[in-house]
Structures are given as C-alpha cells and as structure tokens.
Chain A
Amino acid sequence: MTNFYTLTRTELVEAAKEFKFIWLTLFFVILGLTQPLITKYMDVILENVGGADGITIDPNRPVPSSAEVLLSTISGQFNQIGLIILIISLMGLIAADRNSGMQDFILTRPVSLRSYLVSKLAGHWIISMFSISIGAVVSYVYTIFLFGSFSFSNFVLFLLLYSLWILFVVSLAILISTFVKSPILIAVTTIAASIFFILIKGFNHLLFQLSPGGILNLAENQLLSVHDLNYFSIATCLAFISLNLSWASRNLKKA
C-alpha cells in the first residue's frame, strides 16, 4: 500500500511544519501536570493565594489513591478540555483540503478514496496519540511520585484502550466533515457528538455499553482494576469506526 504510506507521511510532515507535535504535546503535558499537583498541594495553594480566609481543609481527609488521581486526570482533564482542543486541532483535516482544492487534486490521481481516508485517520491518530501518550506518561510519573506506586502494565493497557477512543473521535471528525463545510461548525458538531457519547456511557444498560463510549468505560476500569470486564466493546468500537469511514467515503463519492 504505497499510496497509503505516502499520504500518511505527508500528513505527518505537514503537522511537523505547523509545530503541531510541539504545541499539542506541551498542552497535554501541562494538563497532565496540573491535576496531580493541584490535588496534592490544595491546602498549600489555598493558604498562600489570597482570598481564602476562613476556608479550612480537613487535615484528616483521606489521601486519594494514585489510581483515583490518574482517573481524574484522564476523565476530568484529558476527556474534557483536552478533547475540545484536540477536536479543534482536527477540524481542518478534510475541510482544508477541500477548500484549497487539494482533495480534487489527490482524487484525480490513481488514489482510491479508501486509502485517502484511512491515511487521514492514521496520520491524525498518530499525531494525537504521540501527544497524549507523552502527556499521560508525565502525569503518571508525577502521580507515582506524589501518591505512591501504580502498576505500569495496567497503565499501558489503559493507554492502548484509550487510543481506540481517540481513533473513534478522529473517524467521527472525518465523517462530520463530509457533511458540513465550515471548519468551525465541524468542530462544534464533533465536540457535541463526542460529549454526548461520553455522557451516554454512564448509563448501566447493555445498549449504552455497546455505544462507542463503552470503550472509555473499559479503559477507565483498567485503572480501577475491576475484574468482570466487557471486552466486547472493543469489537463494537472498531465496528463503529469502520462504519464511520464507509459512510464518509459514500458521502464523498456522491459529492
């Protein structure tokens, strides 16, 4: 698949030229640093920063375990403001190509629509996971430094499952950018849809477990070391990703 390889490499080179590797990584590192530090030093911060007279923190409060801190970093920071920034960085992935005419240029070459879309998916997934992995590893190091040890293999397993969720988000952005023309609208719609999927995964029903957000449940349970896990949601997540891609290619063929 040489077409696929060339197109993916182009995506990566373009991202490197736009400093995307640098700033997305820095952003996730800052996000990952902030949460464990604030959780650990909340009382010091409240004492030292003005305007907090009269607020006391119970000195006997339970110290959160490292798994809980990691979970709050991921589901509180990475999955909310991190996801929003990630999607904003993804919003031009098809729209910019279409508006500059590059898409027509590529598709008049002997390049199949499928390898074009899959290369978009793979390229942006690699960029996102590069940044998120570095941010998550920094957060992990700080968490075990401040709160005690946590098994690294569980963390890696978590990161692998989380990468599937990111893959789904990228494929969702591709699908929505075949419907909508303007990049800002693409970002807003994708953010709304993925937050909807994050909300829906909380309901404890089989139907909601099989929604694409179920993979996120599975990933978070890796951190909490719950045992009876529903590994079936890996398959449904992959099915949703391929559904998104085939729908997107059908839309592009029609247009």
Chain B
Amino acid sequence: MNTDMSALLEIDWPQILPFALPIIFFNLLLIGVALYDWYKRKVLIVSPYIWLVIILLLQLLGPILYLVIGRRMIRNDYSREAS
C-alpha cells in the first residue's frame, strides 16, 4: 500500500478516469459485499474490527480473505475442539 497521498493530486484525472473507472467500481462492489456480510456477522466472528480494517485497507485481497477465512472463524466454535 502506497501511503504517499500527495501523488494522487498530481495525477491527470480526466485522462486516467475512463479506464480506471470499471476497476474502481468492481473493487468498491467487492468491498460492499464483504462489508454487508461483515455487518450481519459482526457479533459472531472472532475479532470483527480487525477484519473491518483488513476489508477496508487491503485492496482486492482483503475482502476475499475475509469472505473465505474470516467469516468462518466463529467465536466459541466447539466443533473444532471436538474433532
């Protein structure tokens, strides 16, 4: 993740926007799906606020990691200890 935000101001936005737009749109859609699911399962999963940070900050990989791994890590999961 690039933290130098001043570079964003120097970008020639009108030139780059038409082809960056679909990528940004689909990324936001993916984050939206992950956030919707996170909001519904907030009381169930292990350390929900760490997963919120991961979803919002890791671009493209974060929401997928949450949807594959995070939403299955449930508090008080006795089925794991039994097996």
Are these two chains actual partners, yes or no?
yes
Q: Given A18-B67, A51-B7, check contact A30 B30 (CB 8 Å).
A: yes
Q: Are B64 and A45 in contact (CB under 8 A)?
A: no
Report the 3 A-B pairs with minimum CB-CB distance, sorted nearest first.
Answer: A50-B7, A26-B30, A48-B11
A40 to B23, CA, bound (A): 15
Q: Count residues of B near A (Cβ-Cβ below 8 Å).
A: 28
The digit string for A219-231, where 1 denotes a CB below 8 A from any CB of B, is 0000000000000
* Contact residue among A26, A37, A48 (Cβ-Cβ distance under 8 Å from B15): A48
* Contact residue among B19, B67, B72 (Cβ-Cβ distance under 8 Å from A19): B67
State the Cβ distance, A146 to closest chain B Cβ, in Å: 9
Q: Are B30 and A48 in contact (CB under 8 A)?
A: no
Q: Are A89 and B7 in contact (CB under 8 A)?
A: no
- What residue of chain B has the Cβ atom nearest to residue A85's Cβ? B64
The digit string for A19-52, where 1 denotes a CB below 8 A from any CB of B, is 1101100110110011001001100110111110
A99 adjacent to chain B (CB < 8 Å): yes
Q: Given A29-B26, A30-B27, A45-B16, check contact A22 B11 (CB 8 Å).
A: no
Q: Are A48 and B16 in contact (CB under 8 A)?
A: yes
B58 adjacent to chain A (CB < 8 Å): no
- What residue of chain B has the Cβ atom nearest to residue A96's Cβ? B72
A40 to B16, CA, bound (A): 12
Set of chain B residues within 8 Å of A101, measured between Cβ atoms: 79
State the Cβ distance, A48 to closest chain B Cβ, in Å: 5
Set of chain B residues within 8 Å of A33, measured between Cβ atoms: 22-23, 26
B76 adjacent to chain A (CB < 8 Å): no
Set of chain B residues within 8 Å of A26, measured between Cβ atoms: 26, 29-30, 33
Pairs A–B under 8 Å by Cβ, sample size 25:
A18-B67, A19-B37, A19-B67, A23-B30, A23-B34, A26-B26, A26-B33, A27-B64, A29-B26, A33-B23, A37-B23, A40-B19, A44-B15, A47-B12, A48-B10, A48-B12, A50-B7, A50-B10, A85-B64, A88-B68, A89-B68, A92-B72, A98-B83, A99-B83, A101-B79
Set of chain B residues within 8 Å of A29, measured between Cβ atoms: 26
Set of chain A residues within 8 Å of B10, measured between Cβ atoms: 48, 50
Chain B residues numbered 25-83 whose CB sits less than 8 Å from any CB in chain A: 26-27, 29-30, 33-34, 37, 60, 63-64, 67-68, 71-72, 79-80, 83
A40 to B68, CA, bound (A): 32
The digit string for B3-21, where 1 denotes a CB below 8 A from any CB of A, is 0100100111001100110
A19 to B11, CA, bound (A): 35
Set of chain A residues within 8 Å of B27, measured between Cβ atoms: 30
* Contact residue among B11, B63, B80 (Cβ-Cβ distance under 8 Å from A23): B63
Set of chain A residues within 8 Å of B34, measured between Cβ atoms: 23
A204 adjacent to chain B (CB < 8 Å): no
A100 adjacent to chain B (CB < 8 Å): yes
Q: Are A23 and B67 in contact (CB under 8 A)?
A: yes
A45 to B13, CA, bound (A): 11
The digit string for A84-128, where 1 denotes a CB below 8 A from any CB of B, is 010011001000001111000000000000000000000000000
